[in-house]
Every structure is written in C-alpha cells, then in structure tokens.
Chains A and B, each alone.
Chain A
Amino acid sequence: MATARDSTRTAIAAHAVLILYTLIALFPVFVIVINSFKTRRAIFREPLALPDADSFSLVGYETVLRQGDFFLYFQNSMIVTVASLFFILLFGAMAAFALAEYRFRFNTLMGLYLALGIMIPIRIGTVAILEMMVGTGLVNTLWALILVYTAQGLPLAVFILSAFMKGVSDDLKNAGRIDGLSEYKIFFRLVLPLVRPAMATVAVFNMIPIWNDLWFPLILAPAEETKTLTLGSQVFIGQFVTDWNAVLSALSLAILPVMALYVVFSRQLIRGITSGAVK
C-alpha cells in the first residue's frame, strides 16, 4: 500500500513539473496569438484575456497584408526550402550510396572529408561565400540560398543515409545485378525506396533550420523580391515597431507555417531524434 501511494505521489509531482514547463514553453506563443486578434486598447488593458466580441479586431492583419508582401516572402521561403531539401536528399543519397556500396580507393578518406562539415558551421566562410556569389552574379537570387543550404545539409545527410544504406540487403542488389539492372537503376529503383524513412528524417532535420535562417537571407539575398519569410518579418516588424497590432499579427503569421509543418511532421521529427540518428 505504501509503495502504491508513493508512486501515485511521484506521478503527480512529475505531472506538475511537466505541466508547469509546458506552460512556460507555450505561454509566449499563446500571448502573441491571442493579442493579435484584439484592438489596440484591449492589447494594453488586458493582455492576458482572450479576445471577445468587444475586443476582437483584425486591424493588425489588415495592415500586414496591405503593407508587407507576405505571400511573396512565403513563396520564396517555400521555394528555397523545398529546392534545398530536394538537392540535399538527391545528392546526399547518391554520395551515401557510393560510400556504402562500393569499395574503392579513398573511400574512407572521402567519407571523412564529407563528414568535416557536420561540426564546422558554414557561416565561418560567409565572407568568401558573399564574394563568390557577387562574382557569379548569384547574389540576390534564390539560387544563392539554395546552394548554401544544400552544401550545409549534405554532410549530415551523407552520414545518416550511408549508415542506413549499409543495412540494405546485398542479396537484393545482387539479384538486381543478375537481372541486368544498371547500377543507376539499382540505386533509384531498389535502394532509394528502402531508405525512405531515413530520407524523411534527414528532410525534417534540415527543414526547420533552413526555413528559420536569418543570416544568409540577410547577407546573400536581402532584395525585396528574394526576401524569405523570416527576413521579411524581421524587416517588417523593425519598421512597424510602434504599431502593436501589426507586429503581433506579423508574428502570428510567421508562426503559422512552422506550426503547420510541425503538426504534420512532429512524429517523424521526434522519431528521427530519438532513433539515435544523430549519435
């Protein structure tokens, strides 16, 4: 009896701590979102109250949609993120297959070379990257961002995917070879479908940092027509500091797409982290 009561008490304490921390984690998001739907007066008078019929207002959203080109920013972010993920997965999987499947001279060396980038942040090379992008005329294009994010994502992608590809059965690939499939067909038709879960993990790991990055959009593509959503909201909020409705609405609009992605992919993300893919 005593132990049963003890364990109930422990469980209650554990829930109390976890609920408290969950509140701390979600509180700022909650405050921003509810206040974005209120009138200016209600924002200041009762910041913690939910919007009601009296205080409900969409004036902030109207300003944001009138002044900022958020659809364009959103589109830019989408293009950059999707294109980078595509190249990371395609190039990463191809290189990982070469490293995992074939024995050739410099195999280990090549693996180490590609793994260097896991620990060294690409930002250190920004000065020369900017110079190169200016030299090739890619500055202020989305290609500049796509190239940088692809290079940044490749090391970890190759590392995770090659570990997975070593687990694909040799019998299957050899059966394919006997049937006369080329090495390319073996890769695209047999191996790629089998490592899809690992590809999803890599995609989810890369998606959020690319979407949220501020450094490279700020330096490589600050022009109005190439702004990403992160940079666009940063600039917009900087200009509208005193318009609280607009700032809160812009923040809520910036939260929305990431939250949507998170709801869709959170299971994959958490499974990816907890399956030890980063170990």
Chain B
Amino acid sequence: MARRRPVRWHIAVFLAPAVLVYTAVMIYPLFNTLRLSFYSEIGRERVFVGMQNFATLFGDAIWSDQFWNALANNFWFFLIHMAVQNPIGIALAALLSSPRLRFAALYRSAIFVPTILSFVIVGFAWKLILSPIWGIAPGMLEAVGLKFLYAPWLGKEEYALTTLALVSVWQFVGIPMMLIYAALLSIPDEILEAGACDGITGWAAFWKIKLPLILPSIGIISILTFVGNFNAFDLIYAAQGALAGPDFSTDILGTFLYRTFFGFQLQLGDPHMGAAIASAMFAIILIGVCVYLFGIQRRLRTYQF
C-alpha cells in the first residue's frame, strides 16, 4: 500500500467549477421541476398530490383543451420547419457549394443575418411589414398584381400560426444551410470525379451521390429543429404576446408554460401546474431525442473519408 498514488487533487480542482455550476443551475432544477409537478399548494402549504396535476392537465377540459391545442400547434410549427426550412437550407447549401461560384462568402454571410437577430426584432419587424396599416405587404403584392391574395395574416386564426412558423423559417434557414454546406464541402472530389466518369453529373450527382452522403447532417438538423421548436417561446411572445392570439391560435407549449407558471393578466401563476407542463415538454423532447439516437442515427451510415 505504500506505493499508492497520491490523490490527484488538481483533477478535482479542474472539474469542480463546471460540475458545480452545471449541477446546481441546470441538472438539479431540472429534477426539482419534475419533482414539483407532483406537488400542489393547498392552504399556503406545499402538499404531495401524486399524479393529480397531470390528471388535471389531461383530464380537466379547461386545461386539456389548452394543452392539446398547444401541442397540436407545436407539431404544425415543427412540420412547417421540416417541410420548408430544411429543404430551402439544403437547396441554398447545394447552390453555394457549386465549384467556382463567385461571391459565395458574401451570400453566405447575408443569408445568415436573420439568424443573429433577436426574436424581438424579427417578431416586430414582420408584424409591421405584414400589418395592413403600414401596407408594405399589400403594396408589394399589388405591384405584382396579386393584391387579392393579401389578408391580415397575423390577425386571422387560420393563418397566424403558419405565418409565424414561416417567419421563424425565414429567421433560421441559415443554420441548416451552414451545416449542410459544411457537409457538402467535406465530400472528397475523387468521389464526384468517379461519378462523373460514369456519367453522373449535375442534378443526378446531387441526388445519387451527395444527398446520401449528407443524410447524417440532415438527421442532426432534424433533431436540432425538433428540440428548438418544442421549447420555442420568444417569437410568439414577441409577435403575439403571452396570450398567443388571435384566440390562442398561435399558442405553443412554451407560451402555455409561461402563462401557466408565471401568470398573465387575470390568470394567477401556478408553479406546480407549470412544472407539470414542463415535465410533459421534457418527456416530448426526450422521446424525440431517443427516436433520433436509437431509431434514426443508427441506421444512417456515416462515411469516413
């Protein structure tokens, strides 16, 4: 035992600050929130109530209607991102990565600009542009003879959520573009040249060679979009307020959580119901991440060059 190595304190010193802050401010509150969802406040005291908050959330019509509405809206929000943002991002990346394209860096930087703006700027800017009072959107549609298409999109229940989802797409298209661009650049020229020798060029090369090779990146983008969308809040709050108008048609889980636990206008905040909603969001995100890790990522073949 005399040859036992001395305790290497420096390892602990190096790890301690990060582990402490991370545990205290992230992991512990996360589990504490899950725990709080089993409690309720009865007569100013915190009482353990088991699954009752969840029973209220899913069983009480006032709560469950709001919850399912927010969840359904959130799925629609996610679907639009998957169907619009990611294909546009891939298309832009494919164009940018074409060889000998001039000004590529300029386009790249310009298209990324909306991504760096805050939701407050994006939300209000689009609110103003789409507003019937200011008239930029109707004016521009009129110029191309499509004025009849104009409607106050953010004010109509049937369009508001889709409009906001498209605004969000506009803001974040830069991220899939950059990631796919990086993936496309990492494809070695020899592979493309080998394809060209076999007569596969242009579009065919994209569909048959490049797309299969960038599938892992598309998988990563999908899961990033999923996690981002299911805890989105800021854009809806900035553009439509915490009531997610008109008539809750743009309510998603993030705004629902905010209203419930923090309170808004006439509604009093309820941290325990808030914790229940946060737990539901946690479960949804966890399911999504697991589906990706065990269902999708394993089936995608990653090629090492």
Contacts and interface: CB of A to CB of B under 8 A. Distances in A.
Given A125-B29, A212-B118, A270 B178 contact: yes
Contact of A14 (B19, B30, B98): B98
Contacts of A94: 13-15, 17-18
A226 interface: no
B187 interface: no
A51 B33 CA distance: 52
B178 to A, nearest CB: 4
A95 B23 CA distance: 13
A47 B136 contact: yes
B92 A18 contact: yes
Interface stretch (A54-62, A192-200, A254-262): A254-262
B83 interface: no
B30 A273 contact: no
Given A219-B262, A247-B128, A122 B26 contact: yes
Interface in A94-134: 94-95, 97-99, 102, 104, 110, 113-114, 116-117, 119-132
B278 A127 contact: yes
A18 B111 CA distance: 9
Contact of B128 (A11, A32, A259, A266): A32
Q: Is the interface of B mostly helix, strand, loop or mixed?
A: helix
Interface string B231-265: 10110011000000000000000100110011000
A24 interface: yes
A73 to B, nearest CB: 12
B185 A28 contact: no
Contacts of B266: none
B111 A25 contact: yes
A43 to B, nearest CB: 8
B178 A273 contact: yes
Contacts of B238: 214, 234
24 contacts: A11-B101, A14-B101, A15-B102, A19-B107, A21-B92, A25-B110, A25-B173, A25-B174, A28-B122, A47-B135, A97-B14, A102-B11, A104-B11, A114-B22, A126-B278, A148-B25, A154-B18, A184-B10, A187-B14, A230-B118, A233-B121, A234-B238, A244-B134, A248-B128
Given A25-B110, A124-B282, 17 more contacts: A14-B101, A18-B107, A22-B107, A24-B170, A29-B113, A32-B125, A44-B134, A47-B135, A95-B18, A119-B285, A122-B26, A125-B32, A151-B22, A187-B14, A212-B120, A258-B117, A270-B108
| Among all A-B residue pairs, the 8 with the closest Cβ atoms | A125-B29, A95-B18, A128-B32, A151-B25, A212-B118, A128-B29, A98-B14, A274-B182
